[in-house]
Structure 1
Amino acid sequence: MSQKPAWLRPHGLPWKRGAARLVYDNPWIRVTDHEAVAPTGQPAQYGLISFKNLATAVLPLHDDGTVTLVGQNRFAHADYSWELPEGGAPLDEDPLDGAKRELAEETGLQALEWRKILHVQLSNSVTDECGVGYLALGLSESDGGHQSDDTEALMLARVPYREALDAALEGHLKDVLTVAMLLRAYHMAREGALPDALTRVMLG
């Protein structure tokens, strides 16, 4: 890995956390209210949403240059979302195990090769949620098949990679992990970090 450029170093003072009060708690999130001191030295009140799972996303890239996407109705934005297979891995679990589980459950696929290609912070102003993304290659049907949970009504679509990337860039795919993963794969293809045959079909 290359050395970080100087401009990436932290600047100024960090936030200081004081007493915290639990506001809400369920199996997925915890909301706390914090007494705090801002980097400017001013006292502040800060509400923080803490997540009990690490967000995981998988880019299932088939040998023919297609990707498998998952469609479902999402509660938070009350809309329909096409996105990569995604889920959450408990914080004490290897996130790769969680990613493999989500790929199998949501798509019925398994992969011979896994590459971690993304580690990001999601909505870092009021949450501490982080996400990791894996590229899955050498895809085949898994033994268990597709197994969604009781609240999921999933639809699958296998589309050309470039078609999925264009849909993301045009705003039709809004899930941030999906957009970031598709762009990361494009960068990998441009930089020669993927098999030549796959790169050719991805870049057209």
Structure 2
Amino acid sequence: MSSDGRWHRRDSRVLFTGGPHDSVRLKVDDATRPDGVTVEYPHVAAPDPVRVLAVHRGRVAMVTQHHYLHDTEITDLPGGAIDEGEEPADAARRELAEETGLRAAWLYPLGMVATARAVATERAHLFLAHGCTPGPVSLDAGESLRTQWRPWHELVEPDFMALQAAFPHALGDAASDAAVQRTSAQLRAIGGGLPTRRDDLARAAWGAYTVAALRDPIADDRLSLVWLDLAVGRYAQGAAILDELESGHDGDNAEASWMRAADQFLALAQTH
């Protein structure tokens, strides 16, 4: 009987090795359970993947592709396997650029999630990306995918029928779902609920004014920028204010940049 309630590996053997660079292995461990019984534990050892939630002007980048094991198209966030010796953040930047052409100015870590905790070792590393600029796509051999931009509300829509109508290929990847939910929790802490799909520019600008003028000094300013982007970035007037704010939000005149943006959002709300 194990006093610490843990399983313990006694031995391990590899039954099969394959995949890119022989990075996927089917293994069987001789493991002792907490009750003291030793059993064979088969599992797949595979490289950890990344998933990237990239926000740009009120929308999120998504990719749709056919997945062999499930024989269906799945829409999820851009991502892929971490190469040997590669840092997760570097892999996130690389995969985002390869699959969508987007180069992110910065990444915000959202933690990890075990994607198949009982049968595989992989843990998906999740990131929020912003300040994206377009570039060329560079897909791996054998990859065929479609990139699309989706409004934030379609990813967090509580009405399933509305979601299904707007988004036929709903998120089919658990790590992508986790990234959306964790981002949503972070943004609620910054400014509460984001404007809904039914809100017009004026209502969105009021919310943006509040976030820009009264942002939490403990919070990461970059998260405030993401909140503002999702709120008003889809409007030309809001995007113009964001462009100016992004260039000066963390410089010597950061506070003045935030206050100027707040004044501009307030004026925008009062004139519409």
TM-score by length of 1: 0.84
C-alpha distance in 1 between matches for 2:105 and 2:11 = 48
Identity of aligned residues (%): 28
Query: Greater Rg, structure 1 or structure 2?
Result: 2
Q: CA deviation at 1:161?
A: 1.1
Selected match of 2:10 from 13, 18, 28: 18
How far apart are 1:168 and its partner, in Å? 11
Indicate which of 99, 107, 119 corresponds to 1:106.
99
Alignment of 1:66-105 (within 5 A): 66-105=59-98
RMSD of aligned residue pairs (Cα, Å): 2.2
33-42 or 159-168: bigger deviation: 159-168
Distance, in Å, in 2 between the alignment partners of 1:118 and 1:168 is 27
Q: Which runs of 5+ in 2 are unaligned?
A: 165-169, 191-218, 234-272
Distance 1:57 1:168 in 2: 25
Q: TM-score, normalised by structure 2?
A: 0.64
User: What are structure 1's unaligned runs of at least 5 residues?
Assistant: 1-10
Deviation for aligned residue 1:120:
1.7
Alignment equivalent of 2:119, drawn from 110, 123, 126 = 126
Letter in 1 for 2:51: A
Give the C-alpha shift of residue 45 in structure 1: 1.2
Distance 1:84 1:175 in 2: 8
Counterpart in the other structure of 1:164: 155
Aligned amino acid, residue 182 of structure 1: V
Q: Distance in 2 between matches of 1:81 and 1:164?
A: 14
Q: Within the alignment, does 1:58 sit opposite 2:56 as a pair?
A: no
Larger relative contact order (Cα-Cα within 8 Å, sequence gap ≥ 6): 1
Count residues with an aligned counterpart. Answer: 188
* Paired residue type of 1:66: R
Where is the strand percentage greater, Structure 1 or Structure 2? 1
CA displacement, residues 86-114 of structure 1 (integer Å, 9 cap, x when unaligned):
10112421111111110111001011121
Bigger mean CA deviation after superposition, 89-98 or 78-87: 89-98
Contact 1:57 1:134 in 2 (8 A): yes
Say if 2:223 is the partner of 1:197. no
- Structure 2 Cα separation of the partners of residues 19 and 149 of structure 1: 36
